[in-house]
């Protein structure tokens, strides 16, 4: 099941700079997308979401962009902080199917 | 902030034994889910539960698995006869429906010996 893909297993960024995490999907029926952050020994924590009727959603330092024609979404973190270091998962849901499909995760390391 | 609580945090069981994983949902949430993550792999959907019945399940969720909400608060996942390949982190999630975020517990690490 490769409906949601995160092709970069890891990303390293300097504190204060922008972190850009990417996610691609294949199912055109997906209409709701989310980003979760996960620390070791904890469950995924919801960060931000976007509906397919939008192309951008912003919450503080976090912005999610959705490009439906390219079936691509990205998470921008500006400015990045060391506490942002975690594994980030994108997830997608299709209308009438009450479950999330997760990507494999990108491990973000923000260096002080 | 309300949380999803899972117990136990770690369960070690002999192959062939039954296990029950427990979850206390966020109080005003009506939709409940189980996911699992095998070490090094993706988080995978197992089952969703609404209005006291399964609304959707994956191919992983075979006859060995069952879910229930016996007392109106706890949401449980039972694995009847565990196999080595059932070893994984099991996450409970709860939510308010479609196009709403699901909120996850910290998981139960299940180790089958």
By residue range, what is the domain housing residue A51?
4-111
Q: Which of A43, A49, A96 sits opposite B101 (nearest CB)?
A: A49
A59 beta partners: A62
The CA angle B27-B32-B35, to the nearest 5 degrees, is 130
Tokens 């409940």 correspond to: B32
Residue A57 touches partner B, C-beta closer than 8 Å: no
Number of domains chain A contains: 1
Chain A nearest-CA distance from B70, in A, is 22
Looking at the domain covering B5-112, what would its CATH class be? mainly beta
DSSP state of B75: E
Per residue in A31-59, pLDDT tens?
999 999 999 889 999 999 999 999 999 99
The residues, any chain, with a CB within 8 Å of residue A63's CB and separated by 6 or more, are: A48, A56, A57, A75, A76, A78
Per residue in B21-72, pLDDT tens?
999 999 889 899 999 999 988 999 999 999 889 999 999 999 999 999 988 7
Chain B nearest-CA distance from A3, in A, is 12
Domain residue limits, chain B: 5-112
């Amino acid at each position: 099941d490769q409906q949601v893909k995160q092709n970069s297993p890891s990303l390293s960024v300097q504190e204060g700079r922008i972190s850009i995490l990417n996610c691609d999907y294949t199912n055109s029926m997906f209409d709701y997308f989310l980003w979760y952050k996960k620390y070791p020994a904890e469950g995924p924590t919801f960060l931000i979401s976007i509906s397919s009727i939008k192309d951008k959603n912003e919450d503080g330092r976090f912005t999610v962009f959705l490009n439906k024609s390219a079936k691509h979404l990205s998470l921008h973190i500006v400015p990045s902080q060391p506490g942002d270091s975690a594994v980030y998962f994108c997830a997608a849901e299709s209308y009438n199917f009450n479950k999330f499909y997760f990507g494999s995760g990108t491990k973000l390391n923000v260096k002080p | 902030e309300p949380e999803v609580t899972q117990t136990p945090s770690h369960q070690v069981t002999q192959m062939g034994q039954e296990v029950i994983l427990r979850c206390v949902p966020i109080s005003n949430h009506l939709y409940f889910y189980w996911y699992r993550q095998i070490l090094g792999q993706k988080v995978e959907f197992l089952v969703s539960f609404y209005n006291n019945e399964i609304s959707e399940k994956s191919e992983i969720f075979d006859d060995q698995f069952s879910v229930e909400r016996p007392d109106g608060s706890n949401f449980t996942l039972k694995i009847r006869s565990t196999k080595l390949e059932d070893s994984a982190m099991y996450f409970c999630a709860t939510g308010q429906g479609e196009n709403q975020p699901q909120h996850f517990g910290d998981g139960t690490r299940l180790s089958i010996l």
